[in-house]
Amino acid sequence: DGGITQSPKYLFRKEGQNVTLSCEQNLNHDAMYWYRQDPGQGLRLIYYSQIVNDFQKGDIAEGYSVSREKKESFPLTVTSAQKNPTAFYLCASSMTGSGNQPQHFGDGTRLSIL
């Protein structure tokens, strides 16, 4: 089955710790995205990548980092600089990054502070 796999489903972060969220897709999509969703809020764009080995900051990139070394993978690191990391993190992909292709989402990772 083609799809987007995010892991882990739940993650807990200690103060001062960096944590990495995994996102893998087997849809052969060029573009991948990371969003953050807070309760009662829409999705906010953290980082996006339109092609392998390239990525761009989204609207709320501070305290986050990404890499795109393989087409299938787009991991997100939540660094200790992100002071309010508790949220639902969603990874998505689309055929291209042109903005006119539908984005498809993984099941998400819930991150909480210990």
- Collect all residues with Cβ–Cβ distance below 8 Å to 67 and sequence separation of at least 6: 55, 74, 75
Q: Measured in whole angstroms, how far is the alpha carbon of residue 11 from the centre of its chain?
A: 14
Contact between 105 and other proteins per CB under 8 A: yes
Contact between 93 and other proteins per CB under 8 A: no
Q: Give the C-alpha separation, 69 to 59, whole Å.
A: 22
Take residue 12 and report the two structure tokens written for it: 């807990």
Contact between 45 and other proteins per CB under 8 A: yes
Q: Select from 42, 83, 84, 114 the one that contacts other proteins (CB under 8 A).
A: 42
Contact between 56 and other proteins per CB under 8 A: yes
Residue nearer to other proteins on the CB measure, 18 or 28: 28
Report the amino acid identity of residue 47: Y
Enumerate binding residues for other proteins (CB under 8 A): 33, 35, 40-45, 48, 56-59, 90, 97-100, 102-108
